[in-house]
Amino acid sequence: MSRVLAIANQKGGVGKTTTSVNLAASLAATKRLTMLIDLDPQGNATMGSGVDKRRLNRSSYDVLMGECGIEDALVRDVAAGYHLLPANADLTGAEVGLLEELGRELRLRHALEQLRERYAYVIIDCPPSLNMLTVNALVAADAVVIPTQCEYFALEGLSALLETIDKIRRFLNPPLKVEGLLRTMFDPRNNLANDVSRQLLEHFGDKVYRTIIPRNVRLAEAPSHGLPALIYDKSSTGAMAYLALAGEMLRREEASAA
């Protein structure tokens, strides 16, 4: 059964794109056909996958505007083994272009309908804001993975995102759920990080993934080489953490199915 996961948090710099790219690579490494959708006009997931965002013929913008189907825009030869729906700055125009369109919140869901069952996982990298692009991702998704740093302001932003998810659930996508909260860029030597981590566990319980993504130089270096950490340095703690996250997600899914 196919699963569509939106990687979302309106706060920037929490590791959304790093999580999207490395989770897609880790799932692909388990021999599960995976698609990564870049829905951020910055195109960082596209560049981090080794695809030049400045040389795209088709992108997620064209798909949202109904100018082509996903298959026409897919890049299938990504080094990490997943398929990529790329993005660039053109996507900024989708915000304006969709304003007067009927069913604008449903564009991505409808585009995915015909081919989502071919994929075990579809990962959507959302922009760092609660705009129409993020709404399209949440309406298309089965569940949301929320990367969050263990710091005070990250907790503040989390409540706003949860309110948005609740609204999307009530009005546009009733089955939508929070798949899990992922602690990213974690430094166990930091007392505040440990305190916030405890608060997340107390408040969200088993919704918080056991896997913790550490601060890791290799994770930070990999995008500049157009590679996920798993390809750039598979022995790094960052790469191993995302492999562990993929394993935890698969085990959760198996337990849920059972």
What pLDDT, on a 0 to 100 scale, did the predictor assign at position 258? 77
What pLDDT, on a 0 to 100 scale, did the predictor assign at position 152? 77
What pLDDT, on a 0 to 100 scale, did the predictor assign at position 224? 95
Closest CA to 60 of 80, 90, 32: 90
What pLDDT, on a 0 to 100 scale, did the predictor assign at position 150? 87
What pLDDT, on a 0 to 100 scale, did the predictor assign at position 129? 86
Q: Could you state, in order of their start, the residue ranges of all structural domains in the chain?
A: 3-257
Separation of alpha carbons 26 and 89, rounded Å: 27
Separation of alpha carbons 114 and 232, rounded Å: 33
What pLDDT, on a 0 to 100 scale, did the predictor assign at position 99? 78
**Low-confidence spans in the chain with pLDDT less than 50:** none
Separation of alpha carbons 218 and 241, rounded Å: 12
Contact indicator for 22, 214 with CB cutoff of 8 Å: no
CATH topology of domain 3-257: Rossmann fold (3.40.50)
What pLDDT, on a 0 to 100 scale, did the predictor assign at position 84? 98
pLDDT in tens, 141-175: 999 999 999 887 777 778 888 999 999 999 999 99
What pLDDT, on a 0 to 100 scale, did the predictor assign at position 1? 76
